[in-house]
Amino acid sequence: MLGAAGIDRDKKIVVYDDTTASWGSAGRVFWMLEYLGCRDVHILNGGWGKWSAENRSMQTTAVTLPAATFTPQLNAAAKTDSAHIATRLFDNDFAVIDTRTDEEYLGWQLYGETRGGHIPKAVNIPYGWFYNSDKTTLSYTALKSLLESHGITPDKEVTAHCTAGIRSGYAYFLLRLMGYTRCSNYDASIWDWAGNTSYPMEKAPNYATAVYPAWVKALIDYHKPGSTSAAPPWWSTRTAASSPPGSGGS
């Protein structure tokens, strides 16, 4: 497919996406190309949104390049799997970045995984934190501060994951950009880890009842949540004049 598109491992390749409507797909493509052995891959900072906002040149017809010969040369270090993570998980020089939202990390929001929560010891740096408000990547200084404040330092082997390896592909790109020499993408991600019940997972307390933020907000506001089975014990006996325990009201 890549050869038919005119791509070979020695070409300079620039990848972009619409950063306002993707989960870091440019990063996923970057990772895939590096895994296949491409030597000179880049991502357009700000993506299509910034390019078009600056009124740069555009083409509305398909681009066709002469076919090339693409011979993969796998970069095995760019990809990791659950067995390697399970073996290395509690080593001091190993770190896992979970790039999902905090709701996913805590087990409140599931996107097809069989268990909610996160890999033990994984630090949560949601994918959106890597961007400025205009969807350009954070500066070197800001990225360095963000990573190191979460214990992600260049002396460690670092792997990133998300739900299925897309958001974490962008984290892999940033680690490479920052000069981390031992970094990888766990592309099978939480779908794979959660599917193997021999692997441990951690989740927020009361995960089984407080399954999404709206439930928590409803609870705080004393409005009945959408799921009656998740209602607090005092709800069924609550009257118009009563208040939840500890509220001090009448």
- Is residue 154 within 8 A of residue 141, CB to CB? The reply is no
Residue 162: which of 125, 206, 115 has the closest Cα?
125
Query: Using CA of residue 220, residue 223, residue 228, residue 231, what is the dihedral sign?
Result: positive
| Active-site residue, selected from the candidate residues 162, 174, 211, 219 | 162
Establish whether 162 is a catalytic residue: yes
Q: Which residue has the tokens 């989960």?
A: 23
**Active site residues per annotation:** 162
